[in-house]
Amino acid sequence: MNKRKEDSDKRVKTSSFQTKKSSRKTMFIVLGAVFISIIVMINVGQIIIGLLSFKSEEYSTTDISNYGVYEGHVRDEKAQLRSGLFIFPKELSVNAKNIEFLYSCRVRGLGLSYQQFLKCTYSDQEYRAEIDRLKSIKCEINTKNGTKVNYVEYSDTKFNYPAYIAAYGGNRIFEYAIFNEDIKTITYIYIQIVSNNDVAFSKEYLPIEYQNEKQLLDDDNLDNKNIYYTYLGYGVYKGFKD
């Protein structure tokens, strides 16, 4: 009789111990889950705060005295340029006439877009010299297998006027110069990550296929014309800045 009672007491104690052990285990699991949730919420909050800190910045000018200045207006302005802007003259001719100029850059979130538009009318001699400069533009990119040289492309079909093209959609940039020999005028254009609706100059200066429905931002493939990059193989490209 006493032995049965002792066995019963042992079973009760064992059951009570197991219940307490299970409760403690459950408590630790719950506390662990709460702790992990707090850490995740803190990290998400930090990410959101970080993204919000990238406020929109914008700069735009039509003052020709600002030509060639690509820093000091928005953050990472010069570093984010995907081009060497070889199409544009390094310095403006003092004899150039009827000059039209626009430069703008805009930071939105983590992206940076650019537009530059320059239109000049030259004397016959300066016009010829500038055309010679444009047709000889090249970009040299050093690779482990040697130097790759990319040249501008001439086209008399892609625009309303003949053009020399440094980039045509590759990496979402367009860079080209269109020229009108009759009036000795050259228009230089650079666009980086800009939608059709945000183009700040007349659509007649865009490539013909983008003047209507086709979108500038649809082309981001480096296989498209771009003298500033070269294909190394296996899906790898090397840029002129690398």
Which residue in 149, 168, 166, 148 sits closest to 158, CA to CA?
Answer: 168
Distance CA(192)–CA(168), nearest Å, equals: 11
Look up the pTM and report it: 0.74
Which residue has tokens 């066995």? 7
| pLDDT per position as a tens digit, 56-103 | 788 999 999 999 999 889 888 888 888 999 999 999 999 999 999 999
Distance CA(100)–CA(118), nearest Å, equals: 6
| pLDDT per position as a tens digit, 117-164 | 999 999 999 999 999 999 999 999 988 888 989 999 999 999 999 999
- The pair of three-digit structure tokens given for residue 213, joined into one six-digit string: 């429905």
H/E stretch holding 236 reads strand 236-239
pLDDT, residue 222, reads 53
Question: What whole-number percentage of the chain has pLDDT above 90?
Answer: 49
Distance CA(229)–CA(69), nearest Å, equals: 23
- Which one has a higher pLDDT value, 92 or 35? 92
pLDDT, residue 77, reads 87
Type of residue numbered 172: R
**Which residues does residue 61 pair with via DSSP β-bridges, in sequence order?**
103
pLDDT, residue 192, reads 93
Which residue in 214, 231, 213 sits closest to 223, CA to CA?
Answer: 231
Residues 6 or more apart in contact with residue 59 via CB below 8 angstroms: 73, 74, 77, 104, 105, 106
Q: 124 to each of 59, 89, 94, 130, 181, how far by Cα in Å?
A: 35, 17, 14, 10, 9
| pLDDT per position as a tens digit, 176-191 | 999 999 999 999 999 9
